[in-house]
Amino acid sequence: MTNIELCDIGMIGLGVMGRNLLLNMADHGFKVAGYDKDKSKVDSLLTDAKEQGKVFGATTILDFMKLLKKPHKLIMLVPAGAPVDSAINEFIPYLEKGDLIIDAGNSHFKDTDIRTQRLSEQGFHFMGVGISGGEEGARHGPSIMPGGSLAAYDTVRSIFEAVAAKVNGAPCVAYLGRASCGHYVKMVHNGIEYGIMQLIAETYDFMKRALGFNNQQLHDIYKKWNEEKLNSYLIEITSLIFDKRDEDKNQFLIDEIVPIAKQNGTGMWTSQSAMELQIPVPTIDLAVAMRDLSVLAKQREAASMLYSRPIKIIDSTEHADFLNHLQDALFNAMLVVYAQGMALLASASQKYAYQLDLSTIANIWRGGCIIRAELLNEIAAAFHLMRELPNCLLNPNLSKKVMATQESLRKIVAKAAEVGIPTPALMVTLSYLDAYRSAWLPANLIQAQRDYFGAHTYERIDAKGTFHTKW
Ligand code: 6PG
């Protein structure tokens, strides 16, 4: 085959995400090749490829590379960590100067910096690209968060723009900056995802155990919420989950699932990065902590005996009121968790010189990704109005929305504390909001204590300089 007849891009790793993304590319007219050592994966790719003549496969690197146009463009969708380095190392002997490797998995941004440096020293381009939307998104339109050199991005721009989800015709992909910022932005996306999932779980718990709602009612409520201001992918799938029956037993599947939440690390990385940058993201921290607490099932079992306190059921005459408050409380908290994530991005942009455009990021999150939500339109508008906004809670339009719903968040948090339903993410979100909107905080006492026991000094309101007192 001549170069022009060869494949535009090759996929390393034909797991579900890799395979689906490749098929998506073929749907859009690109000629693609997939590589996997596992022959059954290559065979199933070729079987699924309805675009005859567009999809090719190979089980050896040599055969795979022969299928690709030069300079070679390779995209990897393999698990983060060691598998990424192994894949890179396996391919290096087959690469030529000017070739491009794209890591489209959930890699840690610091690893991406190291890999970029290492590969560029050998004459190769490297891109860190966040892809969100799960299996379905990869197949029919994900949100794509690319980082790398602009020159490298330009060689794959047409592919990414074609396969990405579209919102009002605009593709949910945009060049974000140097390599590691693609993975940084995806990491924060996942941190926000953890926060929203935990907040939704708390509303579920409140409705199930304090209001006594059944799965059918939960399905109906989340469905209604999805049609109103909470319109978002995570609310939509929550509604569908409560409608799903276990085919064998004709019971609701949700009640058959062990209530222990697993994680792959991206939420924790978001919290760790936020701690390093000293930007508070307490709702995300809490969401990670609650997954960790869910794992301690045996301890919680024992503690449930020691600390037994029955949950007080809320009277049915109050249900309608509490439902309205819950909807507003969740809206408020969701807005605040986006604000926390965006504030982290704003800080990382400065610290790592990413020069992120937060309005663009909010825009490309409006479709395809797990945290897509109608609310992102207004978040994008806030950053469009003021590019350097450190926190979108300072935007007047968003502040009106927060003010209009904050009393509901207070009502839910207070009631949850009274009846004994754990709603730590809702609670911490409210406290974050109260602290953020407080011009005064009791940190003067902390400074006094630090000076008292450690002579750490303090600053004064009425004089310049640093002071120490013999307390
Ligand atoms: C996405 C998802 C995806 C993955 C999460 C799950 O954007 O498509 O975020 O990346 O499903 O990483 O993360 P946990 O396994 O940590 O919940």
- Span 113-125, pLDDT tens digits: 999 999 999 999 9
Residue 375 sits in the same domain as residue 450: no
Instruction: Using alpha carbons, list the distances in angstroms from residue 460 to 146, 293, 404.
Output: 46, 42, 37
Q: Which CATH number goes with the domain that contains 429? A: 1.10.1040.10
> What six digits make up the tokens of 467?
């002071």
Atom of ligand 1 nearest to the CA of 190: 9
Instruction: Using alpha carbons, list the distances in angstroms from residue 318 to 204, 322, 331.
Output: 17, 6, 20
Residue 221 sits in the same domain as residue 169: no
CA of 133 to the centre of ligand 1 (A): 9
Q: Which amino acid is at 211?
A: L
Question: 160 with 171: CB under 8 angstroms?
Answer: yes
Residue 165 has pLDDT above 70, yes or no: yes
List the Cα angle 335/287/177 in 5-degree steps.
Answer: 65
The DSSP H or E segment spanning 268 is helix 266-277
Q: Tell me if residue 193 is catalytic.
A: yes
Rounded to the nearest 5 percent, the helix, strand and coil shares of the chain are 60, 10, 30
Residue 311 sits in the same domain as residue 346: yes
* Protein residues whose CB sits closer than 6 Å to any atom of ligand 1: 106, 132-134, 190, 193, 263-264, 266-267, 369-370
CA of 200 to the centre of ligand 1 (A): 16
- Span 42-91, pLDDT tens digits: 999 999 887 668 999 999 999 999 999 999 999 999 999 999 999 999 99
Bridge partners, 245 (sequence order): 252
Count of the separate structural domains present in the chain? 3
Please state the separation of Cα 25 from the chain's center in Å.
Answer: 23
Global pTM value: 0.97
CA of 214 to the centre of ligand 1 (A): 28
Q: Which amino acid is at 391?
A: N
CA of 190 to the centre of ligand 1 (A): 6
Domain carrying residue 13 = 3-179
Work out the mean pLDDT of the chain and round it to a whole number: 96
- Span 180-216, pLDDT tens digits: 999 999 999 999 999 999 999 999 999 999 999 999 9
Residue 382 has a pLDDT of 98
Question: 65 with 94: CB under 8 angstroms?
Answer: yes
Residue 3 has pLDDT above 90, yes or no: no
Residue 5 has a pLDDT of 86
From the list 69, 193, 202, 236, the catalytic residue is: 193
Region 6-34: mean pLDDT is: 95
- Span 360-418, pLDDT tens digits: 999 999 999 999 999 999 999 999 999 999 999 999 999 999 999 999 999 999 999 99
Residue 4 has pLDDT above 80, yes or no: no
From the list 41, 54, 73, 186, the catalytic residue is: 186
Domain boundary among 139, 162, 179: 179
Question: 160 with 173: CB under 8 angstroms?
Answer: yes
Residue 76 sits in the same domain as residue 160: yes
| Closest to 173 in 3D by CA, of 133, 135, 134, 136 | 133
Sign of the dihedral defined by the CA atoms of residues 150, 152, 154, 159, in that order:
negative
Q: Which CATH number goes with the domain that contains 51? A: 3.40.50.720
